[in-house]
Amino acid sequence: MHLTPEEHALLAGERGPATQKAMQILATLGRIYGAECMIPVSSVQIAGVSYDNLGEAGLAWLAEMASGGGRAQVFTTLNPAGMDVEDYADLGISEAFAENQRRVLDAFETMGVVTTCSCTPYLFGNLPHFGEHIAWSESSAVCYANAVLGARTNREGGPSALAAALTGRTPAYGYHLDANRRPNVHVQVNARLHDTPDFGALGKSIGDQLQSCGLNRVPYISGIEQASQENLKSFCASIATFGGIALFHMPGITPEAGLHAPPAEQITISQHTLDTAKSSLTNATPDEIDFLSLGCPHLTLREIQHIAHALAGKQVTREFWITTSRPVKGMADRMGYTEIIEAAGAKFATDTCCVVAPIKGRFKALATDSAKACYYAAAKNGFKTRLLSFDDVIAESTR
């Protein structure tokens, strides 16, 4: 791998131990994956923020990088934290957890990272353009950036994304290169898609089938006539969760699809496959639901507006989390949506979500419109699940 004199200097520790460790990570990854050189990145998004996931040791590593002089060289934002940073007590988060979570955020802040904690950085200004090289970690956002925006990123882990932030570089391999962005399997969808759970179920159907047939699959997905930003956000989360997919092309919808012809290898998603995937994410009865959540990935302002209209003058009967990013919450505050939603008894869980908050075992069953949230509710938190449409989740909350 060719390193510039400046990169060699970083590797030799001339800018301190944190930048040296960062360069070691990048140089090793570059060597493993056969990168010829490093490329500059213009945007970074870092996962591994919740103290629930990091633990004391993960926090110690971040604190060491901060005290070792690590400073972000490019615009960098964070993935969701384990709590609403401003208003956590009402969500049942302990003061001890909050203290530890703040230490994590302090370490990032010391390193010059913008502590906006969200899986949808593209909704508030961390928005790369077509062809831009970036280093993001959140799997749903990686997929959204690559496929929907046409930016270029590998699926970074927390430490490798931090390494990119501290050096402003990433090794040139994987999805940064044209050759690896070509589709290699044609997915023909013969099913009708209406709402976010349909797109989530489609992500699971494709993800499940591709997971068993090798790494780095790039599906070319035909048969989708239209998809909203919210549909695509949910689809990206699901296909990344169930299939580890970081890039897909969808003719008529994503920007690079027109550069490619459909690959010869083909799989078909029938209505039956989609319906089966959808029903497999529901194992709770309506009466078992004691927790509802919308916002996996984090809600857009349009979705919050919709919730406010639907909940106006009503009263929710169960714990109901509205999860979004701090900047979008700010607009919801200004527009009066927050007041309406909170008057109905639902709770904003800003900066966090039902996947990363420390709520293991606290509820019996979750109702949500997100296939990804269903997966983690079962796998991480031990909840039963019920996958409903966005409107049905709201209706269920007041039943």
Partner 1 sequence: MILKGRTIFPGQICGQALVSRMGISFYGGVDPETGMITEAGHDLEGQSVAGKVLVFPIGKGSTVGSYILYRLKHNGNAPAAIINTECETITAVGCIISEIPCVDQIDIDQLSTGMRLYVDAEAGTLVVVE
**Which residues lie near partner 1 (CB under 8 A)?**
21, 24-25, 28-29, 32, 47-48, 53-58, 60-61, 137, 139, 154-160, 215, 244, 379-380
* Dist CA 108 CA 124 (whole Å): 19
Q: What is the DSSP string of 284-325?
A: S-GGG--EEEE-SS---HHHHHHHHHHHTT----SEEEEEE-
Measured CA angle at 66 (ends 47, 125), to 5 deg:
45
Number of neighbours of residue 272 by Cβ within 10 angstroms: 10
C-alpha closest to that of 164 among 10, 327, 329, 342: 10
* Dist CA 236 CA 233 (whole Å): 5
For residues 28 and 305, which CB has a smaller minimum distance to partner 1 in the complex?
28
Q: How far is CA 42 from CA 76, 133, 162, in A?
A: 9, 7, 13
Q: What is the DSSP string of 364-378?
A: SEEEES-HHHHHHHH
Report the nearest approach of partner 1 to the CB of residue 246 (Å): 11
**Which residues make Cβ contacts (< 8 Å) with residue 66, sequence separation at least 6?**
18, 107, 108, 110, 111
